[in-house]
Amino acid sequence: MDELKVIEIKKSIYESNDVEAAKLKKDMKDKHVFLLNLMSSPGSGKTTTLVKTIEELKSEMRIGVMEADIDSDVDARTILKTGVKAIQIHTGGMCHLDAPMTKEGIENLGIEDLDMAILENVGNLVCPAEFDTGATKNAMILSVPEGDDKPLKYPLMFEIADVLLINKIDVIDIFDFDIDVIKKRAKRLNPDIKIFPISARTGEGIKEWTDWLRSEVKFVKESN
């Protein structure tokens, strides 16, 4: 019988992804491209919000979009109609994108001629929060019909998001959704989170959201 030996490792399983993410973050900064990682659950209006955002900004900056999905290319085709560059990334059954997949997406999209690249992550509030993609900033969408209890159920997502978009604000009257409660719950998990109530359908709040994007893109553009 061979002798057994214990090898101590003590490393986080996310470590190799975190290393890749840090590399990608630096690479984006060096190339002066702002990379936004957009996350939400399915049906929150991610693609509609994206279309509205692109329409507002496309005349003043060069935008490229990566649509991540388990399968299909419906989202990428919707984005292409806005006239900006878009590619579809298939995760092949995986519930999130990690940093190496994001890097591959960036290479396929080509960012040399871009000011802002947007990654539309897989619709899911759990796994995408655990894997750093290497994005400059993380934004999440929570829509009114999903309920104001979501920070209690998916705390990590609210902790890692730089921005919370509360979508479908135009239908708030017919749902039991308290905007002050959600703000309090989100801020408790993440005091620095920026919160924008929006309606991708009516256009309400889109200006405040795109103003934030404008200043972030400018900051990356002008940084050394």
Partner 1 sequence: MHEVTILVELVKMVEEAAKENNVASIDTVIIQIGQLSSIVPRYMREYYPNTTEGTILEGSKLKIEMIPGNGLCHHCDKVFNVAKNKGKCPICGADDWELLSGREFNLKEIVVTENKS
Contact 194, 162 (CB under 8 A): yes
Q: Is 2 in the site for partner 1 (CB under 8 A)?
A: yes
Instruction: Confirm or reject binding of residue 190 to partner 1 (CB under 8 A).
Output: no
Q: Which of 105, 112, 93 is nearest to 135 (CA)?
A: 105
Q: Which stretch binds partner 1 (CB under 8 A): 8-16, 43-51, 71-79, 210-218?
A: 8-16
Q: 3 vs 222, which CB is nearer to partner 1? A: 3
Spatial CA neighbour of 14 closest among 187, 155, 156: 156
Please select the residue that binds partner 1; options are 59, 93, 113, 215, rule is CB under 8 A.
93
- The reply to whether 69 sits near partner 1 by the rule CB under 8 A is no
Nearer to partner 1 among residue 145 and residue 147 (C-beta)? 147
DSSP β-bridge partners for residue 99: none
Three-state DSSP state, 34:
strand
Q: Does 17 bind partner 1 (CB under 8 A)?
A: yes
User: Does residue number 8 form part of the binding site for partner 1 (CB under 8 A)?
Assistant: yes
In whole angstroms, what is the distance from residue 59 CA to residue 158 CA?
31
Q: Among the candidate windows 25-33, 88-96, 133-141, 216-224, which touches partner 1 by CB under 8 A?
A: 88-96
Residue 68 β-bridge partners: 89
User: Can you name the residues that pair with 139 across neighbouring β-strands?
Assistant: 38, 163
200 near 206, Cβ under 8 Å? yes
Instruction: Decide if residue 191 touches partner 1 (CB under 8 A).
Output: no
Shortest distance in whole angstroms from residue 176 CB to partner 1: 21
| Cα 125 to the center of its chain, rounded Å | 11
The residue count of the chain comes to: 224
Q: Using CB under 8 A, which of the segments 4-12, 27-35, 47-55, 160-168 binds partner 1?
A: 4-12
Closer to partner 1 at the Cβ: 98 or 120? 98
What DSSP designation does 131 have? S
* 4 in contact with partner 1 (CB under 8 A): yes
Half-sphere exposure of 70 (CA within 13 A, CB side): 6
Does 181 contact partner 1 by CB under 8 A? no
**Footprint on this chain of partner 1 (rule: CB under 8 A):** 2-17, 93-96, 126-127, 130, 156
